[in-house]
Amino acid sequence: MFHANPDGRKQAETGLSWRKNTNRNYCSPTSDYRGADLNRNFDFMWACCGGSSSNPCNETYHGASPSSEPEVQAIQDYILSLFPDQRGPDVNDAAPPDATGLFIDLHSHGRLTLWPWSWTPSPSPNNSGLQTIGRKLAYFDGHTPKQGYGLYPMDGEAMGFSYGMLGIPAYLIELGTAFFQDCTYFENTIVPDNIPTLLYALKIARTPYLTSMGPDSINIALDIGSAPAGIPAGTIVTMEATIDDTRYSAAGGAEPTQNVIAAEYYIDVPPWVISPVPVAIAMSSKDAVFDEKIEDVEAVIDTTGWSEGQHIIFVRGQDADGDWGAFSAAFLYISNSIDIDGWLITCIFILIFSLLFMHRYIGVST
């Protein structure tokens, strides 16, 4: 969602460091301190634990009641429409390892990656999994990963609602170094650092607790020579990749890593598809043995019988704990059409040969 607080954004566009919405019922109708802090108004642990204010003029005012603000109501309804409830009603109930879905709330500023709980220093029942995902996300953007309470107490906030109500991994990512970030820093640092973070989040969203524990597959390369537009079916293609189990931020502590023990690829049909039946094809280590945390792997792909058009090669790796990591993919194009440039060259050679033949043996002037 590109705007969670459109009215507050309009105030910020005037140059004010505006945090809240613009609800005129709080503080004073014309005050620059009016409104509610939307990230303290969510309907989970609302106003529970000193992580918000009951003063309507305070910047962390939590609103009149849980989800009293229309913006929060809309966001909660949207979240609840997307994800199933995968956590029990007790605060100590853990979500299952195969829970699906991922929630990220982008804020400014501080270069932090935070996860629940924020209302208590006690770890959540899924803290180990949340920490692993947080350290992985922070690897890409260089943020400091930590439990939300480590920044300061927050209650009634969005990531607490998403994880607390549904069990999905939830994060608050504090972007940048200033409330109003200059364009150069935004374009040269925030965007290139955080797009890989969000892409990785997309890759693991199906089973984030499980997938984040496995190694990354990176640097996929297909040896197709000078035929980027397509190769004919039957071509033998060499594929190389790197499987890396070390890509976690160390800013918030060391994440356990293991040796890579396997790699595999799928053609067009990844393993979460039921029909047609996916087929795993093993890859080998380039040095002939899987015994490192970073392994270069390879495979030989026979495209005999492949259909015309685009095909997707999915690659993933497994570590010594048995955890499969996120997939990366590459496109391979099959084109059985005639090469027009080659056809023209062939025609020219035939024409020249014919003219020479006619000149020598028939006496036709050329």
In the residue annotation, 240 being an active-site residue is answered as no
295 touches 257 (CB < 8 A): no
26 touches 36 (CB < 8 A): yes
**How do beta strands 112-115 and 144-147 pair?**
parallel
217 touches 263 (CB < 8 A): yes
Q: In angstroms, what CA-CA distances link 333 with 163, 229, 242, 280?
A: 41, 7, 22, 20
Distance CA 66, CA 254 (A): 37
Selected catalytic residue, list 71, 174, 255, 264 = 174
With the C-alpha atoms ordered 150, 156, 161, 164, is the resulting torsion angle positive or negative? Answer: positive
User: 38 exposed, middle or buried (CB, 10 Å; 0-12, 13-18, 19+)?
Assistant: buried
Q: Tokens 């309507």 identify what position? A: 56
Q: Tell me the three-class secondary structure of 98-112, residue by residue.
A: CCCCCEEEEEECCCE
Q: What residues are labeled active site?
A: 174
